[in-house]
Structure 1
Amino acid sequence: MTDLRTFAEALLRFDTTGGDEAAAQAWFRERLYDLGFETYEWTADADQLAEHPSFPDDPADIDVADRPSVGGVLEFGDPEAGKTLVLNGHVDVVPVERDLWSSDPFEPTWIEDGENLRARGAADMKSGLTACVFAALALRKEHDEHESLDGRVVVESVVGEEEGGIGAAAAALDNPYPFERDAALVAEPTNLRVVTATEGSVMKRLHLTGRSAHAATRWVGESVLPHFETVRHAFEELEQERGESVSHPLYNEFPIPWPVVFGTVQAGSWASTVPAELTAEVRIGVAPGETVDEVETQFEERLAEVVADSEWLSARPPKFERFSVQFEAGETAPDESVVAALRGGMREAGLDDTDPRGATYGADSRHYVAAGIPTVLFGPGTIEQAHYPDETVRWSDVERARETITASARRYLSAK
C-alpha cells in the first residue's frame, strides 16, 4: 500500500498552476478509488459563481473549464446514525520563479537528511491534503478493528483556492454529495495550531491622472506620483485607525491586524517624461465580523476626502474599482464540537498549544462557514513558507498532522 511519503511525492510532481489541475485530480480520484473510497467529482458553474460576492461579475472572467474537484467518502458503521466530517485541501498552487529555487520546484526534494521536503505546494498545501487522506485511512483501520464508529469522513481535493475558492465555493453552494455535511477541517498550513477565524480582503484598482511634460520643463506638467503618495499615506493612516478601533480577541498578537498593501504600482511611460498615468492594485484586510462592502466603503470615503482636499484630483476624480476576487472573513465559534474534537485530538497527539487563533489570510473555510458548516483550520507547515521560493515543510509535522486529524475525526464522530 502507498505510504504517506510516496503519496505526497507523487502529488507534488504535478504542476497545478494556472488552472492546470485536471491531471492531478484524475490521479487523485483514481488513488482514492484504489484505496477504497467512494469517489465524487464536480465542476463549478461560472454563471453561478458570478452571482457570488467573492467572484467577478462576468462569468467569462471565471475559469472553470476542465477543473474538476474530487471528493472521496469512507463510511463507518451506520453512516446515517452518525455525523459527517469533511477533510478539505486545495490542489492548486501559485506560480514559481524558477530562478529563485535551489531545485526543480515540481521534483520533490528531501533535504537536511530527510527532515524537510521541498517543492511547490509542500506547505501550501499538498502535504496537508495528503495528511487528510491518510488520516481517513487510519480511522478506517481503527474502526475495522473495533467497530466503534458511525458516520462518514469525506476527503476533498478542490481547485482554484488561490482564485477565490472555485471548487469549495461550488461545493458549498450546491452540495455534490447525497448526504449533508456537519463540519469541516481545512488542512491549511497553520503550524499545527487551531485557527477558527480567517481574515477577508477586498481587492481594488486605483487609477490616477496627471499631465505629461518634457523632463526639461517638468514644472509645466503634473506628476501623478505626489498624488499617489497622498492617497497611500491616507490609506496607511486608515489602516492604523482600523487597527486601533476594530478589535478581535484572536488578532491581538498581530502588529497590523488588518493590513493594507499596494501590491502593484505602474506609472509613467518614459524616463524623460513627467508621469501622467498611474495604476495601483491594493489589497485591504477585512476583519471577522465585517463585510467586504463595509470596509470598501470606508476606503472609498477616505479617498473622497483626499480628492476633496486637492484641486487637481477634484477636477480629475480617480477611478477606484474592484478587480479579481474578494474574500469575506470567516469565523467558527470556539465552542463548536469540531473545534473541541480538534483540540482534544491535538492533546492526544502531544500538541499542547490548543488555544484558538485567527489568521490574517483568507481560506476556503469561509465558503463552508457561509453554508452553515462549522469549519476549523489545522495543518502542517507555516504560512511563511506559502508562495515562497524553496517552499518546504517539516516532514515530522506532516506525520503529526496525520495523527492529530485521525484522533480529531474519531473524537468528532464519537461525540453524541
Structure 2
Amino acid sequence: MTFENTLQYAQQLDQQDPLKNFRNKFHFPKVNGKKVIYFTGNSLGLQPKNAKKYVDEVMTDWAELAVEGHFQAEKAWWDYHERFSEKLAPIVGAMPSEITVMNTLTVNLHLLMVSFYRPTKECYKIIMEEKAFPSDQYMIASQVRFHGLDPKEVIVEVKKREGEHHFRTEDILAKIREVGEECALVLMGGVNYYNGQVLDMQTITKIGKEAGAYVGWDLAHAAGNVELKLHEWDVDFAAWCSYKYMNSGPGNASGCFVHEQYHDQKDIPRFEGWWGHNKERRFLMEPEFQPEPSANAWQISNAPILALAPYLASLEYFEEVGMPALIEKRNKIVAYLEYILQEVEEEVGGNFEVITPQERGTQLSVFLHGQGKELFHYLMKNGVITDWREPNVIRLAPAPFYCSFENMYEFGQVLKGYFSESQ
C-alpha cells in the first residue's frame, strides 16, 4: 500500500476506519490540555469508559444486597468469573471450558507449573528464550529450585544469533531437538516484550510436543493483540495478563488456558481450593475435593469481583468488534507508523532501526542510534506517551481500539520537532 505523510491523508484513513468511533469510548490523559498520543497499550491500556459502570454495579450490589450479592445480584458473584469463558474463547482460540480468570499472571504461571512441570531424573530441562521478561526468569528459576534442582543445569535458553535482534524459529526448533528426551517443558513468551516479535507458536508447540515435553505460553503481550489458536495448536497451558491490550486496569486479573485433555485427570498435581471444587456441591462443605470439569478446576479462591468488573467491561468492546477487525486495523496502522518513521528518518538524517521483524503485532521497537534519553523526555513532554528500554530503544504500540492514523502523523511531526530544536 502506498502511504502519504500528510495530515489530510492521515485524516482520510481515519474516516475510512471502521473502528474510528471506539476512540471515543476510552479516557485519555492530557498534556498541555490536549489528548496524548498513547503508544503504551503494551504496558497499560487506556480505561474504557464503560468500566466505571461495571464497577459501580458491583458497588451498588454490595451496598444494597451485602452478602446476598453472591446469589441475588444481576451478575451474581459466585459465578462471576464464568462470564469470561465465552467472551475470551474467540480472542485466544479456545473452547470456553478451557478458560478461567483468576489471580495475576505470574501467580497463575506458578500454579500451572505445579501441574505441567514434573521433573524426573531423566526428564527435567526447561527451554525458554534468553532475556525473557524478568518475572518469567524469576518464576521459572524459583520453580526449579523448589524441586531441589539447579537452574544453571535445568534452564536452557534459546539465544538470538550474533548481531541479530530477533529469534529464528529454526534455532528454537533445533534447541528443542537437541535437548530431546531431557526436555520436560517449553515455556516462552508468545510475543517478545522487548522486540515485539511474534513467535511461531504453532510450530514450536508441535515440535515441543513431539519431543515429549509440555508446552506453555506466557501471552502477556499476545492476548488481545495477535491471532491465537490455543486449542487447535494443542497448547498444554497458557496465561496472560489483562491490563495491556485488554484494557482491564492496572495489575488486574489474569486469564488461564488449560487444554481440555487435562480436565478429566483428577489425579493431576494441582494446588486446589474451594472455588475449583464442583460448583453444584461447593456449598455442601465436603472434605474431599471434586474438581470442576473445566479449567475452573485450577481456581483456588473466590473471585475478586471488583477487579474483574472492568475486565468484563473491556470484553464488551472485544465482543462487539472481534479480533479479525482489530488485527486488520493493527496491521494497517503499524505499517503506517513504520512509514512515518522512515519518512522522518530521511528528512532529518536520523538513524532509526526498527528491530521488530515482520512477524509482529501492534508493537514496533525502534533502536535510536546516536540518540539518548533526551528524545524520550522530549516526546513525553510533548504529549507522546511511549516507553523507553535500555540502552536506547523506544517501544511504540499503537493499539487499534483507540489510536488514530492522525496520531501517527502527529507523532512524526513531534519527532521532527526534536531534531530541528536540537540542531
Q: Is the strand fraction higher in 1 or 2? A: 1
TM-score, with normalisation over the residues of structure 1? 0.23
TM-score, with normalisation over the residues of structure 2? 0.23
Q: Is the helix fraction higher in 1 or 2? A: 2
